[in-house]
Structure 1
Amino acid sequence: MLIPGRQYKLAFVQSILAFTQVINAATHYRLDYPDLSLILALVRGGSLARAARLLHVDVSTVFRSVRRLEAALGQPLFEKSRAGYLPTSLAQALAEQAERAEQALEAARVGVEQGGQVVSGTVRLTCTDAVLQALLLPALARFMPAYPALTLELSTSNDFANLSRRDADIALRLTLAPPEHLVGRNLGHVVYRVCAGDAYLRSTSLRDLASMTWIAPDDFLPDHPTVAWRRQHLPGVVPAYRCNSMLSVTELVRAGLGVAALPDFLIDGNHGLTPIGEPLAGHDTALWLLTRPDCRALRSVVTLFDELGRTLRRS
């Protein structure tokens, strides 16, 4: 059984072995962690002086170390220019490996401090930009500081293909019928209401919704609940503005350009938006937290999944 910290060091060693073995076979030079640290510092700093400050050494030491390493590898790692030291493709690739090693070592330190109970790794999460801005970011700010060794990769998308293609591990989606091949939790209902910005309210009458200037999702979201409602109740309305995200629709409404049906989580506490009607009956949806069945064996994914489930649950 590996003692606390060694399992993370093992992960770091394994992360660089595959890449360095190719180079070692050709050059007979064995890269070590100080070499990677040197490359990473120069890539981040862009100059000998800044790299020296990052490494807490003098400039001449960095210069000699780079010259020695390039001679050992038999090829240049950086190109000098007026902009500083520009990394070659090899140096860039090595710097990426160095960052992974750096993260693994940090996870090892945290693991030792916390008795080996640290949650580490990278989790890929996808959601719409509206959910990211209004729901996910406040949630992450509440619990992520407790997981310093956990890395998140966030992407915004409107479809389920990310999980199906294994491009993501967790998804937050607005739907009433999540795909059956995914597992997850229903975090609660989301309702929609027609809203207007303060400036638009001052310039128009509220007597007839059909005569107002409408802002709506474009054809990228053809089955959106607000689109279905408008086609049913206001079939003659042609939106003056179309956007490919509900967050963009919200910003146009706030700017006073017209009205739109918006989800409640974008309205609550959002200054400058005023509901002008009751919730759209029969056109609500639900917020689902989803993952792939195979991800339930990953501690990092399960931890994030559980935290999001607790933090985002709606009444």
Structure 2
Amino acid sequence: MIAGTVRITCSEVIGAEVIPPILAGLKRGHPRLSFELTLTNKIENVLRRDADIAVRMTRPTQDDLVARRIGAVPLGLYAHDSWVRANGVFASIEALIGTGAFIGYDRDPGMVRALAARGISVSQGDFGFRTDSDLAQLSAIRSGVGVGVCQIPIAARTADLQRILPDFSHDLEIWLVTHAGMRHANRVRITFDALASGLTTYLSRAEPPTTKH
């Protein structure tokens, strides 16, 4: 019987919304497995054995790591039905800027840089709701605070969310990573394979973008 503890690190949203059901299924078949889950958007150092397995949104470059590309998760702009009813439909991102509708980051400039790379000028002050927690951003979208970025497979299972400006999209790669010296340990191998299968299934649930009026 496979037993032991596996430490996994991943982003907040993946860790809260995607990973637990995968581990629940694995634990039903292997009840003596234990899991430690670290939710952080910082890259935990697998080389230092800070984690046995990491789910990363960028390709690792270290030679001593074993990495498997799972695929790419599509992102879109979403708002709650109640927000759309109150505010209507906007024709462009530029039309949203300055309305206080955007949900974005507080001190992390990543979204500003990403939009700038697409030729869209936006500042931190254009975000009417700012938090560096991805989970808090997701909760704000679901609560009708405004328009924010959401993983399409998550939005697809939330009936009250509407895709806003479906021409806007962005993909994030998902990589599953472990240390080369750990990949043959049974507890790590079986968890790695279960995560790969579960994440692949998750990505397959991304529905074609639609907008309700």
TM-score computed with the length of structure 1 as normaliser: 0.57
Q: CA deviation at 1:127?
A: 0.9
8 Å Cα contact 1:192-1:279 kept in structure 2? no
Q: CA deviation at 1:159?
A: 2.1
Is 1:308 matched up with 2:190? no
8 Å Cα contact 1:130-1:266 kept in structure 2? no
Q: 1:180 aligns with which of 58, 62, 67?
A: 62
Q: 1:210 aligns with which of 93, 97, 120?
A: 97
Q: CA deviation at 1:147?
A: 0.6
SS at match of 2:139: helix
Listed one character per residue, the Cα deviations across residues 113-169 of structure 1 (whole Å, up to 9, x for unaligned) are xxxxx1111111111120012211121222221111111111111122342432110
Structure 1 residue identity aligned to 2:57: L
Comparing both chains, which one has the higher relative contact order based on Cα–Cα distances under 8 Å and sequence gaps of 6 or more?
2
Name the structure 2 match of 1:250: 138
Q: What percent identity do the matched residue pairs reach?
A: 31
**Alignment coverage as a number of residue pairs:** 193
Separation in structure 1 between the aligned mates of residue 122 and residue 172 of structure 2, nearest angstrom: 25
Q: CA deviation at 1:227?
A: 4.0
- 1:135 to 1:169, Cα distance in 2 relative to 1, 3 A: same
Q: CA deviation at 1:209?
A: 2.6
- 1:240 to 1:269, Cα distance in 2 relative to 1, 3 A: same
Structure 2 residue identity aligned to 1:286: E
Q: Which runs of 5+ in 1 are unaligned?
A: 1-117
8 Å Cα contact 1:214-1:241 kept in structure 2? yes
After TM superposition, list the pairs within 5 Å mapping 1:209-248 onto structure 2: 209-212=96-99, 213-220=101-108, 222-223=109-110, 226-231=111-116, 232-237=118-123, 238-248=126-136
Separation in structure 2 between the aligned mates of residue 262 and residue 121 of structure 1, nearest angstrom: 34
Separation in structure 2 between the aligned mates of residue 219 and residue 165 of structure 1, nearest angstrom: 28
Separation in structure 2 between the aligned mates of residue 227 and residue 169 of structure 1, nearest angstrom: 33
Separation in structure 2 between the aligned mates of residue 198 and residue 245 of structure 1, nearest angstrom: 23
Higher helix share: 1
Name the structure 1 match of 2:208: none
Structure 1 segments of 4 or more deviating over 6 A? none
8 Å Cα contact 2:26-2:191 kept in structure 1? no
Higher strand share: 2
